[in-house]
């Protein structure tokens, strides 16, 4: 005779709608880089940009990335006495399609890649003719060939002028007209300067100030973001130095700082072919890294509050990696996408509690060879995946200005860490409950709200995968089942 193990009782979630614990100031969004599958001749172009438009996200970030210099760098070779290499033919369609998908919403521009020829290198860095070829080695050199910074600042000024002011005058005094008159809510100065070129805090702060002073007259209402540090940044001096007003000229102190987080199956023991933890350990590693990151956020925010309390915090890349980031033929378990979605939803909820101003779910488009596990859409079809569905679900239900209310989850009277629960009263007065299942098994949840209203749960998880969220009724006194790795929103 087979004896079934006893089933745990449902997790009990208690809400007090009248006990407000804070107000969200967090904008939830994503970012788009110059990925070749987003070019206009790509079969997934229309569907992908349609999915971007359907997110209805404010402050989406546009990031021409160094891995594809022909798409991201409009001046690939240095000027001579007779000619320059300025050419926006490949970059313009990305910008135009991105701005069209934004439909007038505020956006962030980060034309992050400095041309390699502006750095001192033993030899010129070669660039393939194929715009789709990946160049992980493009960012070379740690010393600018012009230590006055004028050359690199002029480069960014000309790009900004091309898109904001309708054109620019090049190094030889020739005028280039674009006809563009875009407006960017923010301009971010570089992306992950602590990585490829390993720019130290003092040098970055100096460059940031020079870029801001040069670009600000183009649009006095445009704000500026600094740092954009990589997830491997471990040098607190970046924050101590950059946030100190004494290190900035009057009027150029940062409007916001930014930094990134990605969870990954870190190398532990040689338990698999590549020395990374096998899939069954990814959940534990991802959420453990998330908790460590939240402690890092608290530390960084303590520095910010002390030195520059008016400066906002943008954590504008949040995501996960499977092993073999650059593998052109990756093996990614199907459940991974829901696991990644649950992690990003959990981090968003916790960062809302901590008062972070922006959370950007990375990345809108990736593909094999280019960190495929961070994508929000399918690289073959352009269709949304589970990560996109979770992001879209949160965007539809929550926004800055929502009030957080006292919420707890427990089983047998003890806190239940399987489920993260947070109640909100939205700006419009609606009552919503976010539930994130951090486990790979469905969990029953009994909801006790102050007025006992019936409701509806909308959730995306392992069961729905890349499909649209599943909706089921929630009746007072009856538990609701939250799917494995689910992001669920109960509306009362």
Whole-angstrom distance, CA of residue 201 vs CA of residue 235: 9
Q: Which residue has the tokens 């172009």?
A: 45
Q: Is 134 helix (H, G, I), strand (E, B) or coil?
A: coil
> Is residue 271's pLDDT more than 50?
no
Would the CA dihedral through 364, 365, 371, 376 be positive or negative? Answer: positive
Q: Residue 357 has what DSSP assignment?
A: S
Instruction: Work out the angle between the directed axes of helices 45-55 and 92-102 (0-180°, nearest 10).
Output: 40
CA–CA separation, 296 and 311 (whole Å): 17
* Whole-Å CA distances, 331 to 37, 71, 287, 328, 365: 20, 28, 21, 10, 18
Q: Residue 336 in 3-state DSSP?
A: helix
Beta strands in 302-394 (DSSP E): 312-320, 358-361
pLDDT for 9 = 82
Domain hosting residue 477, numbered range: 11-19+403-491
Alpha carbons 367 and 42: distance in angstroms, whole number: 13
- Residue 83 tokens, joined: 């000619």
Q: How far is CA 338 from CA 46, 126, 291, 437, 469, in A?
A: 25, 39, 19, 10, 12
What's the rounded mean pLDDT across residues 401-422? 94
Same domain, 62 and 145: yes
Residues 376 and 451 occupy one common structural domain? no
Distances (CA, A) of 357 to 197, 264, 270, 312: 28, 24, 40, 6
d(CA 348, CA 394): 9
Distance CA 101, CA 377 (A): 15
Asked whether residue 299 falls in the same domain as residue 421, the answer is: no
| The pLDDT value given to residue 210 | 98
Closest by CA to 343, choosing from 379, 299, 293, is: 293
Q: How far apart are CA 319 and CA 325, in angstroms?
A: 13
The pLDDT value given to residue 234: 74
Q: Is residue 31 part of a domain?
A: yes
Number of alpha helices (DSSP H) and beta strands (DSSP E) in the chain: 9, 20
Q: Is residue 107 part of a domain?
A: yes
Whether 4 is in a domain gets the answer no
Burial of 380 (0-12, 13-18, 19+ CB in 10 A): exposed
Do 231 and 287 touch, CB atoms closer than 8 A? no
The reported pLDDT for the residue numbered 1 is 44
The CATH number of whichever domain residue 309 belongs to comes to 3.20.20.80
Do both 240 and 386 map to the same domain?
Answer: yes
Whether residue 385 is found in the same domain as residue 431: no
Both 453 and 363 in one domain: the answer is no
C-alpha dihedral (79, 80, 82, 83), degrees to nearest 10 = -30
Residue 270 burial (C-beta neighbours within 10 Å; 0-12, 13-18, 19+): exposed
pTM of the model: 0.95
205 neighbors 244 (Cβ within 8 angstroms):
no
> What is the C-alpha to C-alpha distance for residues 219 and 200, in angstroms, rounded to an integer?
28
Q: How confident is the model at residue 270 (pLDDT cuts 50, 70, 90)?
A: very low
For residue 7, what pLDDT is reported?
Answer: 66
From 397, 427, 459, the end of a domain falls on 397
Task: Give the confidence band of 275 by pLDDT, cuts at 50, 70, 90.
Answer: low
Among 397, 423, 445, the domain boundary falls at 397
At residue 37 the predicted structure's pLDDT band, cuts being 50, 70 and 90, is very high
User: In this structure, what are the phi and psi dihedrals at residue 424, rounded to the nearest 5 degrees?
Assistant: -135, 145
Yes or no: say if 179 and 162 are a contact pair by the CB < 8 Å rule. Answer: no
Decide if pLDDT at 268 tops 60.
no
Q: Does residue 345 lie in a domain region? A: yes
CB 134 within 8 A of CB 211: no
In a domain, 230, yes or no: yes
From 335, 369, 397, the end of a domain falls on 397
Residues 6+ apart with CB under 8 A from 415: 408, 409
Share of the chain above pLDDT 70, in %: 96
In this structure, the answer to whether residues 372 and 416 fall within a common structural domain is no
pLDDT-based confidence at residue 272 (cuts at 50, 70, 90): very low
The enclosing domain of 446 has a CATH number of 2.60.40.1180
Same domain as 156, residue 131: yes
Determine, yes or no, domain membership for 186.
yes
Which neighbouring-strand residues pair with 447? 13
- Reference 243, options 219, 230, 259, 231; nearest CA is 259
Q: How many domains does the chain have?
A: 2
Q: Render pLDDT for 100-154 as a digit per residue (tens, 0 to 9).
A: 999 999 999 999 999 999 999 999 999 999 999 999 999 999 999 999 999 999 9
CA distance 107 to 58: 7
3-state secondary structure 344-391: HHHHHHHHHHCCCCEEEECCCCCECCECHHHCCECCCCCCECHHHHHH
pLDDT band, residue 448 (cuts 50/70/90): confident
Residue-wise pLDDT for 210-245, tens only, equals 999 999 999 999 999 999 999 976 789 999 999 999
Residues 140 and 168 both lie in one domain: yes
219 and 362 share one domain: yes
β-strand 414-415 against 403-411: which pairing, if any?
antiparallel
Within a domain: residue 470?
A: yes
Q: Is residue 6 part of a domain?
A: no
In the structure, what pLDDT confidence band is assigned to residue 451 with cuts at 50, 70 and 90? low
What is the rounded CA–CA span in Å between residue 462 and residue 480?
A: 16
CA 404 to CA 22: how far, in whole Å?
Answer: 5
15 and 70 assigned to the same domain: no
For all residues of the chain together, what is the average pLDDT?
94
Question: Does 439 lie in the same domain as 348?
Answer: no
- Residue 423 carries which DSSP code? E
């Amino acid at each position: 005779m087979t004896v079934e193990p006893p089933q745990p009782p449902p997790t009990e979630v208690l809400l007090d709608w009248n006990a407000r614990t804070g107000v969200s100031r967090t904008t939830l969004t994503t970012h788009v880089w110059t990925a070749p599958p987003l070019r206009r001749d790509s079969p997934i172009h229309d569907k992908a940009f349609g999915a971007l438009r359907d997110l209805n996200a404010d402050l989406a970030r546009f990031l021409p990335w160094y891995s594809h210099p022909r798409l991201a760098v409009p001046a690939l070779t240095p000027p001579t006495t007779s000619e320059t290499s300025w050419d926006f033919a490949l970059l313009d369609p990305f910008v135009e399609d991105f701005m069209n998908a934004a439909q007038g919403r505020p956006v962030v521009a980060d034309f992050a890649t400095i041309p390699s020829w502006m750095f001192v290198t033993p030899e010129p860095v070669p660039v393939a003719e194929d715009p789709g070829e990946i160049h992980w080695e493009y960012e070379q050199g740690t010393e600018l060939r012009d230590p006055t910074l004028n050359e690199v600042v002029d480069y960014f000024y000309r790009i900004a002028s091309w898109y904001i002011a309708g054109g620019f005058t090049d190094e030889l005094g020739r005028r280039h007209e674009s006809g563009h008159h875009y407006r960017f809510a923010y301009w971010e100065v570089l992306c992950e300067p602590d990585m490829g070129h390993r720019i130290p805090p003092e040098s970055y702060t100096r460059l940031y100030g020079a870029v801001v002073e040069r670009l600000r007259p183009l649009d006095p209402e445009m704000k500026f973001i600094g740092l954009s540090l990589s997830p491997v940044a471990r040098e607190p001096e970046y924050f101590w130095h950059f946030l100190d007003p004494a290190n900035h000229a009057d009027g150029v102190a940062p409007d916001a700082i930014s930094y990134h987080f990605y969870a990954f199956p870190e190398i532990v023991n040689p338990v698999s072919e590549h020395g990374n933890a096998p899939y069954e350990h990814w959940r534990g590693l991802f959420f453990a890294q998330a908790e460590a990151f939240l402690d890092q956020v608290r530390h960084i925010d303590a520095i910010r509050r002390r030195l520059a309390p008016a400066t906002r915090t943008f954590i504008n890349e949040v995501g996960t990696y499977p092993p073999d980031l650059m593998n052109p033929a990756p093996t990614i378990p199907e459940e991974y996408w829901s696991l990644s979605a649950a992690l990003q939803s959990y981090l968003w909820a916790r960062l809302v509690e901590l008062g972070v101003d922006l959370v950007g779910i990375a990345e809108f488009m990736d593909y094999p060879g280019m960190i495929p596990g961070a994508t929000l859409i399918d690289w073959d079809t352009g269709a949304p995946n589970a990560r996109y569905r979770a992001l879209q679900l949160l965007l539809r239900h929550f926004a800055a200005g929502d009030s957080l209310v006292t919420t707890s989850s427990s089983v047998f009277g003890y806190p239940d860490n399987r489920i993260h629960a947070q109640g909100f009263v939205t700006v419009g007065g609606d009552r919503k409950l976010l539930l994130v299942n951090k486990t790979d098994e469905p969990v029953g949840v009994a909801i006790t709200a102050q007025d006992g209203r019936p409701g509806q749960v909308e959730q995306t998880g392992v069961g729905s995968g890349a499909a649209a969220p599943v909706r089921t009724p929630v009746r007072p006194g009856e538990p609701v089942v939250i799917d494995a790795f689910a992001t669920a929103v109960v509306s009362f």
